Amino acid sequence: MRDLETDRPDATESPISVDRGHFQLEAGLVTWSRDESGSDVVESWSLGEMNIKYGLTDSMDAQLIIVPSERVRTVTGNQETELEGVSDLTLRLKKNVWGNDGGSTAFGLLPYVTIPSGSEVSTKTGGAGLVTPFSWNIGENWGLGTQVELAYEWNDEESDHTFNVTHTCVLGFDVTDQFGFYLEHILSAGDHRLESSASFGITFLVNKFLQWDAGSIVGLTDSANDVLAFTGFSWKY
């Protein structure tokens, strides 16, 4: 098998697919976020987020993303509401265009669709999108990744589907053979105010096919979420 390549923990996806006939599990153990706007506060928790991947061919894998437990608490003035349930399902197909088995660069295509779960936290409507991840090994221990994502998704403020474009750029550094860290910028534009965030985190490679991670995202503009923190792991078998 190829060395472990993961889509988590940063927001920038990897263009490398899972080996044919093998599974890969990328799981978020706990994710917490909080956003304040005046007297309004939105706080959310999710447990057990899973991205289950299976290698279909030497250059393509199929993915299923689900969060079995998500809770969203909203405080508006003196009113407080709390929603809980299973998140919407996301089905993805990753196609590696080049770089799967060597070279300093790699590029992939990652189309996806979302399917409503029908729970309290569901958007009650589906969506779709396309991600175009690119990676570049710029040195012995340095790596650069970037992507553009075009999404057609539900917008609560507009009460309708809208297009959203997100660009990310991440710089990673391997301190040792096991320990690494990354810094990332996330920019989102669409039928909303421009959102800019900074992300940072660490990874620890337990063995060739098992990796632990932890990180955080901090909003740089008022329109972005104030803070998000998470921890999880990735395992290929």
pLDDT digits (tens, 9 = 90+) for 173-232: 999 999 999 999 999 998 778 999 999 999 999 999 999 999 999 999 998 999 999 999
Q: Cβ distance 48 to 27 under 8 Å?
A: yes
Candidate CATH numbers 2.120.10.70, 1.10.3720.10, 3.20.20.240, 2.40.160.40; the one for domain 23-236: 2.40.160.40
Q: What sign does the dihedral 215-41-225-26 (CA atoms) show?
A: positive
% of the chain with per-residue pLDDT over 90: 87
N residues, the chain: 237
pTM of the predicted model, to two decimals?
0.93
Question: What gap in Å lies between CA 34 and CA 21, rounded to an integer?
Answer: 39
Check residue 37 and give its pLDDT: 86
Question: What gap in Å lies between CA 43 and CA 168, rounded to an integer?
Answer: 24
For tokens 């990796």, what's the residue? 211
Check residue 192 and give its pLDDT: 79
pLDDT exceeds 90 at position 158: no
Please state, rounded to an integer, the average pLDDT across all residues of the chain: 95
Q: Give the pLDDT confidence of 44-96 residue by residue, as tens digits.
A: 999 999 999 999 999 999 999 999 999 999 999 889 999 999 999 999 999 99
Higher per-residue confidence, 39 vs 169: 169
Question: What gap in Å lies between CA 87 and CA 67, rounded to an integer?
Answer: 5
Check residue 39 and give its pLDDT: 82
Split at pLDDT 50, 70, 90, the class of 124 is confident
